[in-house]
Structure 1
């Protein structure tokens, strides 16, 4: 299209192509520690579990509920989503202890979960001891009974196991890295079900040694004498190759 120039030309400049505006860099925001102001309205997905343990007052069974929700964050300049526990609920009337202390503990755990430090809070509860003797609750990775210093510690261990099966903690109660949590949540969105840990090995009735899915005893290390496989026998690492070495002597 022609344009008529009616005034004196005093200068000129070549028009440059427009450059695209660079996208703003997102500030890092760890989804594990981002604070959740309050429990969101509406429905949350939750896990309800019956916990059984044996203490000084005999066998007891209690119920525990843990709610989860997706939480957004920014890692490596990318917006990501993980799943975090946000609420712990222990229905009252299940124990002879004062209900107000049980309720207060669950409220404190819920605040810790929304504040981003629930892993440390649950680990601290496992250190609680009392004067009524050990409490038996659950089995370890080798299907041996677990003993805890109090009912509180037993329930805290059970909470860690719930979070482990949900993929939030590892089997020892340590925090799973945020990159792994991102991958597990993406897996859930893609496949329609949550990440699940591998099944624990079963135990051979005759020897008491754990057995893998293939039927062979599960190994727990290497023999320092003959470099053969070690298996758990009667709660002690023992050489399966036949040299007779045992950690317990």
Structure 2
């Protein structure tokens, strides 16, 4: 294209080739602490579990529902995705306690999950105690019964176990590193199934010595007095809150 110049030339410069616009770097955003304003519409993946425990009022079985969803974030300048719990649901009418307090606790726990601090919230619930004696729920790594300070603490421990089996917490209820969560979610998306805890016993459990019991009776002064044998597992019965209760771990109680 020819351009006619009708005025005096006083200077010139060579036009530089235009550089492509720089791509802005993504701002770091930890997917563990990203706040989720509310429960998203539609269907969420969930785990439904029946929890069994024995307390002052005998054996109880309750149901708990925990919902999960993928959450995006930015780590090291790259977009990543992890899975987080976002909702806890405990159907009312399962316990003799006031239903409003159960509902309030589950709502608060759901808010903590969407706010990014559910690990601390569940750990705090495990510290709740009451005056009705210990509550037996679950087994430890040595396959021995676990005792908790209240029903709330027992249910909180059960929640930790759900999150552990889902890969969100470790075996002690501590938060798994976000990098590990990213790897586990990517593994699930690639292979079509979720990460599962290893079945191998821990070093501590492997080092635990095996004890052989040679007598059905306990030495005098060691442990609670035996008042009979369990009709279900033939284990020893002890008096717990005035009621013969199985000490071996099956949970049978004469009072129900």
Q: CA RMSD in A?
A: 1.7
Q: Which residue of 2 aligns with 1:53?
A: 53
Is the deviation greater in 21-30 or in 115-124? 21-30
TM-score normalised by structure 2 residue count: 0.78
Aligned-pair CA distance for 1:145: 1.5
Structure 1 residue ranges, 4+ long, deviating more than 4 angstroms after superposition: none
- Whether 1:104 aligns to 2:124 is no
Aligned-pair CA distance for 1:76: 1.6
CA contact (8 A) 1:141 1:200 kept: no
Q: Which residue of 2 aligns with 1:232?
A: 208
Q: Which residue of 2 aligns with 1:89?
A: 89
Q: Find the residue that maps to 1:180 and give its secondary structure.
A: helix
Q: Which residue of 1 aligns with 2:183?
A: 183
TM-score normalised by structure 1 residue count: 0.80
Q: Deviations over 1:4-44 (max 9, x none)?
A: 43334332222222222211011111111111111111111
Aligned-pair CA distance for 1:57: 1.3
Q: Deviations over 1:152-197 (max 9, x none)?
A: 0000000001001111111100011111111111111111111111
Q: Which structure exhibits the higher relative contact order, with contacts defined as CA atoms closer than 8 Å and separated by 6 or more residues?
A: 2
Which ranges of structure 2 fall in alignment gaps of 5 or more residues?
Answer: 212-256
Q: Find the residue that maps to 2:158 and give its secondary structure.
A: helix
- Whether 1:43 aligns to 2:43 is yes
Which ranges of structure 1 fall in alignment gaps of 5 or more residues?
Answer: 202-217, 222-229, 236-249
Q: Find the residue that maps to 2:208 and give its secondary structure.
A: strand
Q: Find the residue that maps to 1:100 and give its secondary structure.
A: helix
Distance in 2, matches of 1:134 and 1:86, equals 30
Is the deviation greater in 126-135 or in 22-31? 22-31
Q: How does 1:177-216 map to 2 (within 5 A)?
A: 177-199=177-199, 201=201
Aligned-pair CA distance for 1:133: 1.0
Distance in 2, matches of 1:182 and 1:54, equals 37
CA contact (8 A) 1:53 1:61 kept: yes
Is the deviation greater in 4-13 or in 86-95? 4-13
